[in-house]
Amino acid sequence: MQKIKLNDEVIIIAGKDKGSMGTVTKITDAKVVVEGFNIAKKHVRANPNAGVTGGIVDTEMPMAISNVAIYNTKTKKADRVGVRTDKDGNKERFFKSNGDSIV
């Protein structure tokens, strides 16, 4: 089970955007894309057949999953995530600081 999932509210804990909060929009194996952060300028070649104009475009780049931590709304801080099984035998994620399950 992944500890950080799509649409989780996270805090960036390392890098140029340290201390910022955002929502996870994409996840690969070891990288995440956080909405509005880790912006880089990319040079895009024009493609008239596809209707793409060329130029310099700002894009959100992936960052290492270790550089983000999930945001705990009760403690208003970054928190670690654990995995446990509930009464029905289903796995659930929980905050390590206070033991509340993550919805």
User: Would 102 be classed as within a structural domain?
Assistant: no
User: Would 101 be classed as within a structural domain?
Assistant: no
Here the CATH number for the domain that contains residue 86 is 2.30.30.30
CB-count exposure of residue 68 (10 Å: 0-12, 13-18, 19+): buried
Structurally, how many domains does the chain consist of? Answer: 1
- Percent of residues, the chain, with pLDDT higher than 90: 94
The whole-number average pLDDT for the span 48-67 is: 95
* pLDDT number for residue 103: 80
User: Would 4 be classed as within a structural domain?
Assistant: no
What domain range includes position 59? 9-95
Has residue 19 got a pLDDT over 90? Answer: yes
Cα–Cα distance, 59 to 36 (Å, whole number): 9
User: Would 41 be classed as within a structural domain?
Assistant: yes
Q: DSSP character for 17?
A: T
